[in-house]
Amino acid sequence: MARRFDTGTGGGRLVIASHNPGKVREIGELLQPWRVTVVSAGSLGLPEPEETGTTFVANAELKAHAAAQASGLPALADDSGLEVAALGGAPGVYSARWGGPAKDFAHAMAEVERRMAGAADRSARFVCALTLAWPDGHAETFLGTVDGTLVFPPRGASGFGYDPIFRPLGADRTFAEMDPESKHRISHRADAFRRLVATCFAGGAGG
């Protein structure tokens, strides 16, 4: 049976198991309607565990369990990335690593473009695995996806990661050209988050 996150009166504390400011900000925005006090793993000084999983789910669960154990609080971890059809699904779980030690996504996007040279198929999708873990070891995991097309050169200054080269199907703007509210309606992270809220958050928003 699924476990629900107890928001409590006045708000429960939830650790966002990430040191990525863009990801922490986006998850925090998605949680705004709920009585949740969000703290990041970075602000708590928690170490970043090595992402040794070969799937998004494995890495999300690894990070959530590590943060929950280290903090003694429920922790929400995200593992997400870009899967490019012409590259056989790469960069996939290695999306962040394509940016090198500095996690330079301008470099990562240029690398995607370089490897796709001559490819007619520009279809891609973003995948997100969200894991909510408790200090006692229990966890709930949810997957979300969004399909789209890659565009070059990168466009837009909002968002983070590969957002400037990803245009979701049916849209004329990249994620980086959208305001946060528009992106949150259709993103892979929002898709996974809707599943998490339906299962793990009792009552309605703010209730």
pLDDT, tens digit, 9 for 90 and up, residues 42-67: 899 998 888 889 999 999 999 999 99
| Within a domain: 55 | yes
> pLDDT tens for residues 107-156?
999 999 999 998 999 999 999 999 999 999 999 999 999 999 999 999 99
Per the domain annotation, does 114 fall within a domain?
A: yes
Whether residue 116 is contained in a domain is answered as: yes
Q: Cβ(194)–Cβ(83) under 8 Å?
A: no
User: In the beta sheet, which residues pair with residue 16?
Assistant: 40, 76
Number of domains in the chain: 1
Q: Is the dihedral of CA 166, 169, 175, 178 positive or negative?
A: positive
Q: pLDDT tens for residues 153-199?
A: 999 999 889 999 999 999 999 999 999 889 989 999 989 999 998 89
Catalytic residue of the set 79, 136, 163, 179: 79
Q: For residue 19, what pLDDT is reported?
A: 84
5 falls within a domain: no
The answer to whether residue 3 is domain-embedded is no
Instruction: Kindly tell me the burial class for residue 3, based on how many C-beta atoms sit within 10 Å of its own C-beta (0-12, 13-18, 19 or more).
Output: middle
pTM for this predicted structure = 0.86
74 domain-assigned: yes
Give me the helix-helix angle, 188-200 and 21-31, nearest 10°: 50
**Residue 9, C-beta contacts closer than 8 angstroms, at least 6 positions apart:** 35
Report residue 130 as tokens: 């969200």
pLDDT (0 to 100) of residue 204: 46
97: containing domain: 12-200
**Which residue, among 154, 159, 155, 207, has the nearest Cα to 183 in the 3D structure?**
159
CB atoms within 10 A of CB 159: 20
Question: Is 109 strand, coil or helix?
Answer: helix
* Residue at 42 is within a domain: yes
Q: Name the H helices within the chain.
A: 21-31, 56-71, 105-115, 180-186, 188-200
Q: How confident is the model at residue 8 (pLDDT cuts 50, 70, 90)?
A: low
Can you give the pLDDT at residue 9?
A: 43
The pLDDT score that the predictor gives to residue 81 is 96
* 206 within a domain of the structure (yes/no): no
Q: Please list, in sequence order, all residues whose beta carbon lies within 8 angstroms of the beta carbon of residue 107, skipping any fewer than 6 positions away.
A: 98, 99, 100
Residue 166 neighbours by CB distance under 10 Å: 29
Q: What are phi and psi of 137, to 5 degrees?
A: 100, -10
Q: Which of 59, 24, 22, 23 is nearest to 38 (CA)?
A: 24
pLDDT at res. 207? 35
For residue 74, whether the previous peptide bond is cis, meaning omega lies within 30 degrees of 0, is no
Residue 103's pLDDT band (boundaries 50, 70, 90)?
Answer: confident
**What 3-state DSSP class applies to 83?**
strand
Q: How confident is the model at residue 7 (pLDDT cuts 50, 70, 90)?
A: low
Q: Is 79 a catalytic residue?
A: yes
Which CATH number is 32's domain given? Answer: 3.90.950.10
pLDDT in tens, 60-98: 999 999 999 999 999 999 999 999 999 999 999 999 999
pLDDT at 111: 96
Instruction: Please list, in sequence order, all residues whose beta carbon lies within 8 angstroms of the beta carbon of residue 203, skipping any fewer than 6 positions away.
Output: none
